Chain A
Amino acid sequence: MESVDTVSTDVLIIGGGPSGLSAAIRLADKLKEKGVSKNIMLIEKGEEIGSHILSGAVIKTDVFKELLTSDEFNEMPFDCEVKVDKTVKLSENGETTLPFHPPYMNNIGNQIASLGKICKFLATCAVSRGVEIYSGFAVDELLYENGKVVGAKTKDTGVDHEGKPQKNFQKGTSVKAGITILAEGTRGSLAKQLISKFDLDATSNPQVYSLGVKESWNVPEGRIEAGTVYHTMGYPLIDGQEFGGGFIYGMKNNKVGLGLVVGLDYEDPSFNIHAAMQVWKQHPKIKAILEGGSVSEAGAKTLPEGGWNSIPKLYDDNVMIVGDSAGFVAMPALKGIHLAATSGMCAADTAALALVKGDTSASTLTRYKELVDASRIKKELYPVRNFRAVMQDGMILGGLKFGVQLLTRGFCLLTPDTHSDASETKKVKEFTGRPFKERFAGKLDFDKKLTFDKVTTVFQSRAMHDEHQPVHIIINNPEQFRSSNIEVYGLSEEAMCPAEVYELHIDKQGNKSLRLHAENCLHCKTCDIKSPNGGITWTTPYGEDGPEYREM
């Protein structure tokens, strides 16, 4: 099978985040236990493992005790243990510390960490078990035979904007695999294709997402103790309009990870989460921590938060979906890493079983679903399955409804529906609230010390894209995009994108057009999720392109 452009493996894992790496580690262990020798190949599009990883992160560590040897677990590069955990309700200039935690939010004993560093560490554990890891390769196509997934293909490189091969053309490699595990992270582009091809979301709610914009700071001594966790509610968000909040995690050596996470089901077409994060930092409470410090890195990522009701069918013949691609995030607790790792382990156990049995069809892989149902994933997600849906009513009313659900173990008279984030955006003329710029007038001039524009954030993410390649952001229907997305929604993509990929250009005659700066892209996929009319398809650019996070 090996040739210039084809390789084969028993198991192909696409994506080197916590779910993919956990799947690889667990599978290697299981196969060894069963005395079976199989190839496990993991492909990651970031230049290195961790380059595209961004998270808070406060991690529930139990899953890693199950995944790793105790020696390995003890070596995990956590930063520090959570000692102080407070939830603060912000008003424009004031704050109230809540006397209690919202349910599921207690973090004492959890570990603060850079998820990028954790993934790098997990990669070494996988490699030591014989897993082959290849980073810097974008996979943009699933391979099918007789309608069944039989592997995937990496992207052709050395092509021009029109896709025409150049002198340095390098054909993508077809990877033939017995089992393919999609661990691409949030809104995975292959997972999206697979779900749509096999209608895997026929019975689930549409997935809904949040966008988190994060910065890593070095602050002056004494601003925040390592191990201190603050979550903020309220300002700059308005209850009932935007769902979300901020996080501030104190780490060793005066490092602070902080960010604002906002649900993408907001209605204001001009709402700008990146700018909202900058407004949030001007609050006296946050400013007092940051002032005089400097940003070491910045970036953005979306996270699925539809919960249990939005999880699609997780498998088909020869293929399974794990981690954020499947939507395993426990929203009330703001945690998905341990569930991603758990799902990777469940998929690995299933793959081991299938390989030993020599049957990788859906009838064997259904075991994956059974394992998920028996694991902490269902335990944590099922009782809160209607959390995000009721939160579309606002935190106060939603909180009440959610409180009732907790008493009834998640029972709701009617299973509430969620709507896709894209469909929630209102047309400029129909949006009746105060538009974003008016709401935060006077706070949107960024000083590049405490607050930054999007271009600076892109710089801080170290994002780079080869200009010799087809534009990786596809306008699905240019005519509709012009007449609706631009004219009717006022190019809401410009506001929603945390990286200034979209620019509304108005010429002297007043004609509006889109200027696309795909080279700024942070791979958060917000546009793919939120663009009105489903106007945008995000495809993966060349491997190694994109942000280069070090410790995000």
Chain B
Amino acid sequence: MALTIISLMKQVPLASEMRMGEDGLMDRTKAKSIINVDCSFGLEAGLQLKKQNPDAKLIVCSMGPPSFEVSLKKAIAMGYDEAYLLSDRKLGGSDTFATGLAIATMLRHLGFGKGLNEDFVIVAGRQTSDGDTAHVPSQVAENLKIPQGTFIETASLVDGKVHAKRIIEGGYQMMSLPVPCAMSFTPTGVEPRRKSLAGAVKANRAKVTVFSIEDINLSEEFIGLGTPGENGSPTIVSKVANVVSERAPIKMSSGHNERELVSSFLDNFKAGKNTLEVKEAKAKVEKTRDESLEVIDFRNGAKGIITWAEVVKGQISRPSLELLTPARELANDLGNDTKVTTVLIGKNVGELAKELIAYGADEVVVVDDERLEEYRILPFSEIFAQVIKERNPEIALFAATTAGRELAPRIGVKTGSGVTADCTSLEIGEHKHRNKETKVQVIYAPLLESRRPTYGESKLATIIGFVCPQISTARAGTFAVPPKDESRKGTISSFTPKLDESEFVSEIIETVIGEAGGQALFDADIIVSGGRGTAGDGMQLVKDLAQALKEQGLKAEWAASRVMVDEGVSEYAKQIGQTGKTVRPKVYVAVGISGAVQHVAGMKEAETIVAINHNAKETIFNNADFGIVGEYEDVLPELIEKVKNGFTFGIEAKA
């Protein structure tokens, strides 16, 4: 049978066009609809696989309202053969758990995922712009019991296996996946192609097959809006609050030529950046509970908090240590002698257990196996699920690292829990609920309130779940690493999982993490970074500006965006961004950098950001304090001149 390439795709409102409705919720109806950007890279990845396998059939699937047909037809116009849409009002309000289940059920209905010898590959986007969870590909894979690769940039078929380049913190991994498998793609691989007219003609004449839940025999039990104690998704959004944006509006320089622009920039810089009026944090309202209401403890005996300690290069990763801070606080809030248990998986990792206790774990469950030297999702998710089954915790927490973000949803499917992604606050709270039939109001408590930014960080949503363990992933860098106390006492126990050889079908061929070089970037006070726009002179002017600053006695370094590394202009050690280094200098000067999210993730913590770009529309200007619109060839020499005459971006020279 010929290979089938299945693309999972979602249509989303264009984020820049969403407006706040009068009810305080985001109004999507007036925004233009597009294919979610990551999904369009998934679509292209499928088309690239087809190039290698001309006989492959390309199908595209989605779940959503009938209006999604527009995007499904666009996929056909790009080169897909068939389109399927699962569309049913009963699916409204579904969380990611329910979505993963529904899509997997549709695929099974289409004849996929019934055994391991099938010839299909699922390609999806990493995450959607309106959800940002990155859960669904993991959940679909788990529901179909097939291996997965998330955060894949490029993939090709080699001797019946998929070779995929997976983006991880600080580098990438080459992995080999068997067929069938599921992959989710980052928006950094091959740019999605344009539709062709011949394809559009085909799409115009094609029919999108629309399924209802009855058509695919999907039960209503776990789908649709979640209701405690009844059918529906395991998690719901309980509240949404506004967030004040963190960065004040940019100050743009004005002028008709580079001299005026740079002098205007200097004036702006001296006057200081715009600041936001930070509203006084509201005094915490003392929670008062209506004593007459019945309190339902839905935990059913589940108790304790479990976390995962991710091991990278023989060390416990910092985000996993950070996780112990909210874990400890939640345990304290729950009281009743609630314990924090940390699961440590790997090869010869026992020594690290003491460290976890010193940082606040009450118990460390060690799973030591030589096959577990490198993180792989199939065995790790299976082990974790087995530990959960044995310990029956009420809460499970993961750091929202690349691994944590794919692991949590896969485990969530095994336990029947939903997952809340990328949280910035975790608290114990309660939820009032009125039974539709009896009209009796009850309180569900205690439960985990996971808060996460959403809609491009403009909103803070509180999400709660009613199935234990309540699973959340916590954004790295949000919580402080707890103080280390070597004298803390705790239990270290070992756990022997039952592992089948089939859990080891995916192989890591190679892991490439940036060399130790470029450490100076972490200590630099000012970083001058060049992007695509500075390719003209091979970043010479960027380096010259950094050099001029050094000569003024500053701790200055030059760096580069990913494109410049890809193009060979810069070494990898100098790369700033999600797949490079995350830096926090006093001043970050972004030259010719467009401001892709991946780059911004690596520099947004800089105290002051200066952007220089010839295109006033680039998103970098939304992430900067000072902006200069102009050609770098003009602006930088002028700026270098000023530095030579003593302008040091407000930083005192050390020398």
Contact = CB atoms under 8 A, between A and B. Distances in A.
Nearest to A548: B32
A157 B194 contact: yes
A157 B198 contact: no
Nearest to B44: A168
Interface stretch (B185-193, B315-323, B449-457): B185-193
A468 B194 contact: no
Interface stretch (A2-10, A24-32, A279-287, A412-420): A2-10
Interface string B308-344: 0000000000000000000000000000000000000
B197 A137 contact: yes
Nearest to B532: A467
B247 interface: no
A308 to B, nearest CB: 36
Contacts of B616: 455, 459
A144 interface: no
A134 B200 contact: yes
Contact of A170 (B48, B194, B204, B614): B194
B634 interface: yes
Residue of A3, A158, A170, A517 contacting most chain B CB atoms (<10 Å) = A170
A43 interface: yes
A115 B218 CA distance: 47
B373 interface: no
A169 B196 contact: no
A173 B200 CA distance: 10
B615 interface: yes
Given A455-B616, A505-B631, A505-B634, A43 B197 contact: yes
Contacts of A421: none
A184 interface: no
B201 A515 contact: no
A170 B193 contact: yes
Nearest to B637: A508
A157 B193 contact: yes
Interface in B580-628: 614-617
A490 interface: no
B615 A7 contact: no
Given A134-B204, A505-B634, A515-B631, A170 B615 contact: no
B195 interface: yes
Contacts of A229: none
Given A134-B201, A455-B616, A459-B617, A171 B193 contact: no
A103 B118 CA distance: 77
A506 B195 CA distance: 41
Interface in B165-202: 190-198, 200-201
Contacts of A5: 196, 198
Contacts of B193: 157-158, 168-170
B204 A172 contact: no
Nearest to A153: B197
B197 A172 contact: yes
A507 B637 CA distance: 11
B44 to A, nearest CB: 6
A168 B196 contact: no
B197 A134 contact: yes
Given A158-B193, A459-B617, A519-B615, A167 B48 contact: yes
B192 A168 contact: yes
A342 interface: no
Contacts of B197: 7, 43, 134, 137, 154, 172-173, 175
Contacts of A305: none
A447 to B, nearest CB: 12
Contacts of B194: 157-158, 168, 170, 542-544
A532 B191 CA distance: 38
Nearest to B257: A506
Contacts of B204: 132, 134
Given A132-B204, A168-B192, A468-B191, A7 B198 contact: yes
A136 interface: yes
Contacts of A137: 197, 200
B425 to A, nearest CB: 36
Contacts of B44: 168
A168 B48 CA distance: 8
Contacts of A519: 615
B424 to A, nearest CB: 32
Contacts of B192: 168
Nearest to B48: A167
A170 B195 CA distance: 8
Interface string A511-529: 0000101010000000000
Interface string B68-95: 0000000000110000000000000000
B191 A168 contact: yes
Nearest to B205: A132
Contact of B195 (A2, A4, A136, A167): A136
A3 B201 contact: no
A3 B198 CA distance: 8
Residue of B79, B191, B196, B637 contacting most chain A CB atoms (<10 Å) = B196
Interface in A97-138: 132, 134, 136-137
A172 B196 contact: yes
Contacts of B191: 158, 166-168, 468
Given A154-B196, A172-B196, A173-B196, A7 B190 contact: no
A79 to B, nearest CB: 20
Residue of A169, A505, A506 contacting most chain B CB atoms (<10 Å) = A505
B12 to A, nearest CB: 17
Nearest to A458: B617
Given A167-B48, A455-B616, A7 B631 contact: no
Interface string B632-647: 0010010000000000
A543 B200 CA distance: 13
Nearest to A5: B198
A158 B194 CA distance: 7
B195 A7 contact: no
A507 B191 CA distance: 36
Nearest to B32: A548
A459 B617 CA distance: 8
A542 B197 CA distance: 12
Nearest to A500: B616
Interface string B113-133: 000000000000000000000
A167 B201 contact: no
A7 B202 CA distance: 10
A157 B47 CA distance: 15
A362 B48 CA distance: 46
Contact of A4 (B198, B617, B629): B198
Given A168-B44, A169-B193, A519-B615, A7 B201 contact: yes
A63 B196 CA distance: 35
Interface string A162-188: 000011111111010000000000000
B45 to A, nearest CB: 11
A171 B200 CA distance: 13
Interface string B236-270: 00000000000000000000010000000000000
A171 B631 contact: no
Nearest to A43: B197
A45 B538 CA distance: 36
A468 to B, nearest CB: 7
26 contacts: A2-B201, A134-B197, A134-B204, A137-B200, A157-B194, A158-B191, A167-B48, A167-B190, A168-B47, A168-B190, A168-B192, A170-B193, A170-B194, A170-B196, A171-B196, A172-B197, A173-B201, A459-B617, A468-B191, A505-B631, A505-B634, A508-B637, A519-B615, A542-B194, A543-B194, A544-B194
Interface of A: 2-7, 41, 43, 132, 134, 136-137, 154, 157-158, 166-173, 175, 455, 459, 468, 505-508, 515, 517, 519, 542-544
Given A134-B204, A136-B195, 8 more contacts: A41-B201, A158-B191, A168-B47, A168-B192, A169-B193, A171-B196, A506-B257, A543-B194
User: Which 10 interchain pairs have the tightest Cβ spacing?
Assistant: A173-B197, A168-B193, A157-B194, A173-B198, A167-B190, A154-B197, A170-B193, A170-B196, A137-B197, A134-B200
